[in-house]
Amino acid sequence: MAKRKASVSIRECVACGCCIKVCPRNAITVPHGIHAVIDRELCIGCGKCAKECPASIISLEVTEE
Amino acid sequence: MKRKKKWYDYLWIASLTYLILGFFNILCAWLGLLCFFIPLAIAVIKGNKAYCNKYCGRGQLFSLIGGRFGLSRKKDIPGWMRSGCFRYGFLIFFFVMFFLMLWNTWLVFAGAKNLGTVVTLLWTFKLPWHWAYHGALFSDGVAQFAFGFYSVMLTSTILGFLTMVLFKPRSWCVYCPMGTMTQLICKAKNITGQPR
């Protein structure tokens, strides 16, 4: 079944961490302060991070799993 | 699974208090240096952006006013504002203005210039601010720095507020000079392969 997962545009991420706070699954981290990383195992594709991201660089991608 | 509030989720109160204190005693502006040195220290020593990610009171204030209170259009920030050119350009501009402010402070320290009891908004508009001045410690330069530094803090808050209203609540985070600088430090540390 097709699922949606959040995906970060790494190059444009400012590593502010706004997404960390809104994620209901604690699936987001910003390791070494460089860019956000989403744990795709935990992500449920709710889109809260994409909505919150001040740079609007998180999108929801459809994955076949 | 709702996150439990931690002590640092209330640091927006500190940021708000800081802005208010500047209206009563300008010397309190010196406290703002914490917002400069703590993020830099965390980035240099720990190599991460825990300050932005957890502790930044200003970011919390914007997400509270723009998010919870809804004073934000919640639209996407224009592409050029999140480009590297703009972010690094703004950082450089901010640095230049900061050093001009330090130079001005030095002139007052050295006695070459008189203390100006004004707060300069957006690097242009000089607002009389004498009511918050009750004498300086040691030298007029101490007060001059306070006026200059408070100008920087108030100006950046206003810019952040404007972009909060126009775009997403924490749009300031995209071009915040401290954020850009700490991210640069983190990137540099990662390239050189220092302890992570």
CA distance B29 to chain A (A): 25
pLDDT band at residue A64 under the 50/70/90 scheme: confident
Contacts of A14 in chain B (CB under 8 A): 82, 87, 173-174, 179-180, 183
pLDDT band at residue B194 under the 50/70/90 scheme: low
Mutate one of A19, A21, A58 to test the B interface: name it (highest B CB count within 10 A). A21
pLDDT band at residue B4 under the 50/70/90 scheme: confident
In a domain, B196, yes or no: no
Mind listing the pLDDT tens digit for each residue in A15-50?
Answer: 999 999 999 999 999 999 999 999 999 999 999 999
Tally of domains in chain B = 1
Q: Would you call A33 and B173 a contact, using CB atoms and an 8 Å cutoff?
A: no
Q: Would you call A14 and B190 a contact, using CB atoms and an 8 Å cutoff?
A: no
In a domain, B149, yes or no: yes
Contact B62, B164 (CB under 8 A): yes
In a domain, B2, yes or no: no
Residue B58: domain span: 7-191
Contact B41, B50 (CB under 8 A): no
Q: Would you call B183 and A15 a contact, using CB atoms and an 8 Å cutoff?
A: yes
pLDDT at A65: 61
DSSP assigned state of B4: P
Tell me the whole-structure pTM to 2 decimals. 0.91
In a domain, B180, yes or no: yes
Mind listing the pLDDT tens digit for each residue in B34-60?
Answer: 999 999 999 999 999 999 999 999 999
pLDDT band at residue B138 under the 50/70/90 scheme: confident
Indicate the average pLDDT of chain B: 93
Q: Would you call A53 and B168 a contact, using CB atoms and an 8 Å cutoff?
A: yes
CA distance A31 to chain B (A): 7
Both tokens of B138, joined, read: 């040691």
Coarse DSSP helix, strand, coil percentages of chain B, rounded to the nearest 5 percent: 65, 5, 30
Which domains, ranges and CATH numbers included, belong to chain A? Answer: 2-64 (3.30.70.20)
- How many CB atoms sit inside 10 A of residue B16's CB? 17
Contact B188, B84 (CB under 8 A): no
Q: Would you call A18 and B59 a contact, using CB atoms and an 8 Å cutoff?
A: yes
3-class DSSP assignment, residue B120: strand
H-type alpha helices, A1-65: 18-22, 48-52
CA distance A56 to chain B (A): 6
CA distance B135 to chain A (A): 39
The dihedral through the CA atoms of B80, B73, A8, B9 has a sign that is positive
Both tokens of B25, joined, read: 């005693």
Q: What ipTM describes this predicted complex?
A: 0.91
Q: Would you call A15 and B167 a contact, using CB atoms and an 8 Å cutoff?
A: no
d(CA B55, CA B183): 15
Contact B148, B54 (CB under 8 A): no
Contacts of A31 in chain B (CB under 8 A): 48, 196
